[in-house]
A and B are shown apart, each in its own frame.
Chain A
Amino acid sequence: MLKKRNNWKTIIALTTALVLVLSGCAGTNKASNTDKNASPAATTDAATAAAPAKGGELTYALATSPDTLDPHRSGLAVAVRAIRTIHDNLVAQLPDGTIQPWLATEWAVSEDGLSYTFKLRQDVKFHDGTPFNAEAVKYNYDRILNPETKAANSAALIRPYKSADVIDEFTVKLNLETPSNAFLGNLSQALVSIVSPTAAQKYGDQLGKNPVGTGPFKFVSWEENSQITVERNPDYKWAPPLVANQEAPYLDKVIFKIAPEEATRIGSVQSGQVLAGETIPPQNILALEKDEKLQLFKSNTQGLPYTLFINENKAPWNELKARQALQAAIDVDAIVKTLYLGTYDRAWSPLTPGTFGYDKSLEGGVKPDLDKANALLDELGYVKGADGVRAKDGKKLTLHYVDGSPNREKRNDIAAIIQQQLKQIGIAVEVEITKDVRTVVYENGNYDIYGNSQVNSDPEALRSFYHSGAVSVGANQNLPGFKNAEVDGWIDQGLIEKDETKRQELYAKVQQAIIEQAVIIPIYVFPYTIAASKTVKDIKFDSLAYPLFNDAFIQK
């Protein structure tokens, strides 16, 4: 068995090698489940109030190939960019966090918070002509729960959904296992959007290649590793309040071109081969800002910023003082300014600023202080040796820093800088860059520091990283190995607390405790950035920074 796997490894390695060579040594693969680039507060510059021109094709370069266009089975942020154009949700979340009607016109929550009754729009049709109704909603959410669907991220989002009762054709009651404040927000996410029940039954596993929804665009074709085409849905008149145009979109078609090589993607925007391209690296943002023919659309992601988790299950990081030494020695400002050249915001808290409950008071709280860091390590009994590395009882003070490959958002470079910063206080940092984060981190738990981020619409996202009941690593600990009964209690209470102010206070306490106890080092908030020709107008974003093309048009 083991031998067989090794053979496979070689075969896979060979194939990968070939692919790499053929693709011009690309490598901007973004493939982490938890981590999706995206969010609210659209800073749409330009876009002067010109009358929208109808027609035209918008070519849009994606950074990687989507895994599937079946929203319930996808785990990639890049897939959501296309999924969003084809599918709608029951509700929409605005950038300020409020929930607004979309395919549902109104809803009522029961006193105990265990059931949600939705009244649905009656004029909605799927692209294949199937009518949208209460049965369709029930079918969709049950489909996510059904193990045969092999639901990915959607399964976590739909929780604690239990069952649905069809009250009449356009009224559906959703029943929950436990009350959840995050439920409505989650229902607004593209990964739990509504697919056509007829199509889902017809295509089964293959729905991802033949998606059918109720969205502003209809799926046309998907050429593997080349492009995905969607065309205007002329019947569309149920747009979310996130966009101005409530009717069918202005564009004839949106063509998503798959261009993993960064230089190619940016080059094709500059040369006009495509009208827009996503995920622009900081150094190019600066250069493109000066380009007269181009404009940038930028939107900060929401949820958990890119955060370094310090593994408390590895000595000496179980000691508060050791972690505080890291907190004081790592100069996050310098890292963010150097690598991102002022285009990314620095993170201060386990949550991003746009997320509900974000505690602003943490900003400016942690300051780099080498003397303090040195003093803390001295107190722990670590003495600097001749080589400048601290040691105690003959054991050197090393830190095993794990990061994934390819070098997404310059995260490997963060490791390189931290290696130098920690050298100053006598910690030897071993950096391990691996293609197999799943095994190294999530199965073996073999890391002192590992960084990750998560796009999410609700502070409930904190649970899977800081609640002691979340055991994503080796089935026995959360990423930081953090166990704190008080914090557990606040997170549990936050999920059911109905009073918004009280809920806010609970999450503030959680964030403060995490920073005070130096559980993590928050690094940056990721801005989803699009470069586009100046003729492209009014690309909007949903609350998680996924682009919306309802209002978009091409000026002639």
Chain B
Amino acid sequence: MKETAVAKTAWPRTRAMRRSAPRTAKLNVSNLLVYAAGFVVIFIVLCALMPGQIAPYSPTEMVMTDIMLPPSLTHFFGTDYYGRDVFSVVVYGSRDSLLIGLASVLIGGLLGASIGALSGFLGGIFDTVIMGFIEVLMTIPGILFALAIAAAMGPSLFNVVLAVALSAVPGYARVFRGQIISVKGRPFITAARSVGAGNLRIFFRHVLPNAWSPLLVMATIGLGTSILIGSGLSFLGLGVIKEIPDWGTLLSQGRGYLTVAWWMSTFPGLAITMLVLSVNLMGDKLRDHIDPKKSRF
């Protein structure tokens, strides 16, 4: 969250000051939830960064004598039909799931924001054409769009990231365009223009810093969606095929065994749920924090 700190200076000072007073942290249920969510996210990020320290077993080791053991103290999440420790596989699998989420939000966000910013700032025929196109794309459900891209390009990590990212682009573009247009019409922009600031200066010094915060919220919440879509693609067999499967793949591998070994897909499923829920909770909190409506009254 380094970006937040940097960007704060760019906000009009009065707003920042007014906000700090009523927002001292109080320990209530919603805050507790956010803390819990934070811990989950931190733990999962740790899993992705140093799985070797957390997982008790190798994620690829198949012990043929220990297949489909139920959860126990030696195997927290049980073992799968290859005889792998499900906990270890889930820990290692976090890396791809997180990577798909982060990378696609980054790519999708950047691409969407650029399109939206250009469109909103330039306006005119360019805006009409681009937004018309974006509207068309928005009629296609995100998961279908991602599925089509993944199916056409074939399974690889990059393609999945691209598929998920592209499916998110229209959303970012539209929100950011709206934001840019609303900021563009504010009096301080007119003021800047009247003292002779050029287009580029106005855009980068005045419009952009005042427009990006909803995008941050959207990206945080979008992270959850992206992880879900990425897992969905893997679940359908269009995802990454690697030695260490990601969560979506684990979910689909265990699906046929639900009646005989529920733990094989339940725990990866729980991991997805926990991560997405936590990220969304944090996104909600962030939205409350920088919601212009709340901060302006």
Contact = CB atoms under 8 A, between A and B. Distances in A.
Contact of A413 (B82, B155, B258): B82
A405 B255 CA distance: 16
A488 to B, nearest CB: 37
Contacts of B154: 434
14 contacts: A17-B143, A17-B151, A21-B144, A25-B235, A27-B236, A263-B256, A283-B256, A337-B64, A338-B81, A338-B82, A405-B237, A416-B82, A417-B82, A420-B62
Interface residues of A, number: 38
Given A334-B64, A417-B82, A14 B237 contact: no
B152 interface: yes
A407 B235 CA distance: 12
Given A407-B237, A417-B62, A420-B62, A9 B81 contact: no
Contact of B260 (A20, A27, A283, A334): A283
B148 interface: yes
Q: Is the interface of A mostly helix, strand, loop or mixed?
A: helix
A20 B241 contact: no
Contacts of A284: 259-260
Nearest to A28: B256
Query: What size tier do the contact residues of chain B reach?
Result: 20 to 34
Contacts of A423: 60
Nearest to A338: B64
Interface in B217-252: 235-237, 241, 243
A17 B64 contact: no
B107 interface: no
Contacts of A9: 151-152
A16 B151 contact: yes
A437 interface: no
List the 3 closest pairs (A to B, CB-CB), nearest first: A13-B151, A17-B147, A13-B148
Interface of A: 6, 9-10, 13-14, 16-18, 20-21, 25, 27, 262-263, 266, 281, 283-284, 286-287, 334, 337-339, 341, 405-407, 413, 416-417, 419-420, 423, 431-434
Contacts of B152: 6, 9-10, 13
A338 B62 contact: yes
Nearest to A286: B260
B162 to A, nearest CB: 14
B67 A21 contact: no
B241 A431 contact: yes
Nearest to A17: B147
Contacts of A20: 147, 236
Nearest to A419: B243
Given A25-B235, A283-B260, A417-B62, A10 B148 contact: yes
A25 B147 CA distance: 12
B175 interface: no
Interface in B132-178: 143-144, 147-148, 151-152, 154-155
B140 to A, nearest CB: 8
Nearest to B63: A338
B261 interface: yes
B151 A283 contact: no
Interface in B58-115: 60-62, 64, 67-68, 81-83
